[in-house]
Amino acid sequence: MRGPHNIWRLIRTGATLERTGAMKQLLDAYEAPGLVRVALRGLAWPFQWLGVKGDAAFPPIPRALQALGPAYIKFGQIISTRPDLVGDDLAAELRVLQDRLPPFDTALARAAVEVEIGQPLDAVFDTFSGPVAAASIAQVHRGTLKDSGEDVAIKVLRPGITKAFRRDIDAFYLAANAIEFLSPASRRLRPTEVIDHFAGVVAGELDLRLEAASASEFAANTEHDEGFELPRVDWNLSGRSVMVMTWAEGVALGDNAALDAAGHDRATLSKRVLQLFLSHALRDGFFHADMHQGNLKVAPSGNIIAYDFGIMGHIDEYTRRVYAEILYGFIKRDYMRVAQVHFEAGYVPADRDVDEFARAIRAVGEPIFGMDATKISMGRLLSYLFEVTERFGMETRTELILLQRTMVVVEGVARSLDPQMNIWETAKPVVEDYIKQSLGPRALAKDLKKTAQVLARFGPRLPALVEAALIRQAEPPRAAPKPSAWRPAGLILAGVVIGALLMGAAMALGAF
């Protein structure tokens, strides 16, 4: 589906922004220079009649994003949590995109549920409400199970959402390809790979069976987390387009007035939401990657309830350790260590100067310390950080995009609860605990045990592999032998020797 025909989609995007008044509001909000203002509006104005009117009940920017489709709505949901970047007024306007979008007909939802469960709705549910929340990809109904009387949330995909989302992503691919072609300097940011990554992630939201599996795994990982709870999935009533979970009763985390009226301590909730995210990302490597206010509630007990598990993030153990060391270096203000970790992990090209990079990192980190959140300009900070990455030739790490994006969203949620919250002081105990668990002697023993177990599984095959490698080694050289012909045998023999050493070391450390 990708191709020049998607130019129409991009033209319609600019036309919709102009027609709804969103273009002017965006340019005013960011104080765009005169030439940029004239160029953008000059290009969009003649085509505004091609734009979508959208819902006039919405303010201009949410109106345009809602009219343009699910991928644009997702973008609006993300930036709605960052009043420090877009301003308090615009952030408040964009929150309507989280769970207050126009719903689709309840009759269509009822029909979809009946198809999914394979029996009449009334045979399973005593009650089935109209939509209680409508988001970009699905909407939620409240119901009561006939056999148990339990209140449940019934999530149903929007009709035609898969096709609509793919159409948006195709247009984004065209834009990314155009950016790479017109601006070679942008290629280090890998815009096409970035879209590949997000397309894959959000595609998981379009199959609710995957979301149910994510919810189940997340619940198992966080079962003992204090101050945190999750709804339970009813597997018997869930499928590709429908998911049923226990009803989560609580106050929306984005409603500060309601939280205050219920007697909840917003400063405590602010710290908890950030620390929970870091704990899940570092400890488990599996985290809720869509933690905006629309997906979080506070139970009467004060526990934070998370739901909507369509976008979950996963990072491997090595990457978690790198990420933790970088955070820890910032917390300790050890900028040389932060720089060294970037080089060791290959995030910065080896031919760059580590001392110079450390000084540049110091200029990013130092303004943060000793200041409360209200005095930190994250816009300026991110702008300077981008300049640093460009100057040192850092490429976008696609495996970290979701983690970085979620960190931004969670920080925005935490600051909306307590503007005075200091992210570094809040993160410190979680990161320190992870460092102790993952980089000390106990972690070494654990790593040795894992390595020994892998080698043990391949143990029966090692003699045959070594013999085959030695036979190849003994064969007479050919006319044009490859320089690396010796390497397989050498690597296998080295693996056997290292494996034996690791096995002995693991046993000595008491790993078994």
Q: What residues form DSSP beta bridges with 304?
A: 228, 298
Residue with tokens 């008491």: 510
Residue 493 has pLDDT above 50, yes or no: no
Residue 360 has pLDDT above 90, yes or no: no
226 domain residue, yes or no:
no
| Same domain assignment for residues 488 and 420 | no
Find the angle CA(215)-CA(217)-CA(220) to the nearest 5 degrees: 110
pLDDT (tens digit per residue) in 282-294 = 899 999 988 888 8
Residue 239 has pLDDT above 60, yes or no: yes
107 domain residue, yes or no:
no
pLDDT bracket for residue 99 (50, 70, 90): low
Q: What is the extent of the structural domain holding 11?
A: 4-99
| Same domain assignment for residues 285 and 417 | yes
Percent residues over pLDDT 70 in the chain: 74
Average pLDDT over residues 127-150: 92
Distance CA 467, CA 458 (A): 15
| Same domain assignment for residues 333 and 389 | yes
Most confident region among 186-190, 443-447, 479-483 by mean pLDDT: 443-447
Contact in structure between 451 and 509 (CB atoms under 8 Å)? no
| Same domain assignment for residues 423 and 471 | no
Per-position b or e across 316-348, b if 16+ CB within 10 A of its CB: eeebbbbbbbbbbbbbeebbebbbbbbeebebb
Q: Smallest Cα–Cα separation from 470: which of 482, 488, 455?
A: 488
Average pLDDT, the chain: 78
Percent residues over pLDDT 90 in the chain: 29
| Same domain assignment for residues 420 and 503 | no
Average pLDDT over residues 50-58: 80
| Same domain assignment for residues 297 and 372 | yes
Average pLDDT over residues 356-372: 79
236 domain residue, yes or no:
no
Which uninterrupted H or E stretch holds 140? Answer: strand 138-145
pLDDT (tens digit per residue) in 114-130 = 999 999 999 999 999 99
pLDDT bracket for residue 512 (50, 70, 90): very low
| Same domain assignment for residues 327 and 418 | yes
Q: What is the reported pLDDT for 229? A: 95
Residue ending a domain, choose from 99, 115, 132: 99
Residue 245: count of CB within 10 angstroms of its CB: 23
| Same domain assignment for residues 326 and 456 | no
Q: What residues form DSSP beta bridges with 100?
A: 134
233 domain residue, yes or no:
no
38 domain residue, yes or no:
yes
pLDDT (tens digit per residue) in 74-89 = 777 766 766 655 666 7
Distance CA 323, CA 342 (A): 10
Cα 480 off chain centre by: 50
Residue ending a domain, choose from 75, 99, 123: 99
The one catalytic residue among 99, 168, 290, 418: 290
pLDDT bracket for residue 500 (50, 70, 90): very low
Helix orientation angle between 398-417 and 70-79, rounded to the nearest 10 degrees = 50
The dihedral of CA 339, 340, 341, 345: what is its sign? positive
| Same domain assignment for residues 317 and 382 | yes
151 domain residue, yes or no:
no
Residue 253: count of CB within 10 angstroms of its CB: 27
Q: Tokens for 418, please give them.
A: 């307590």
290 is catalytic: yes
Residue 501 has pLDDT above 70, yes or no: no
218 domain residue, yes or no:
no
Residue 439 has pLDDT above 90, yes or no: no
| Same domain assignment for residues 404 and 450 | no
210 domain residue, yes or no:
no
| Same domain assignment for residues 378 and 461 | no
pLDDT (tens digit per residue) in 384-415 = 665 676 678 776 565 566 777 788 788 888 88
Residue ending a domain, choose from 439, 474, 500: 439
| Same domain assignment for residues 412 and 497 | no
Number of compact structural domains in the chain: 3
Strand order across the 228-229 sheet: 228-229, 304-306, 296-298, 251-252
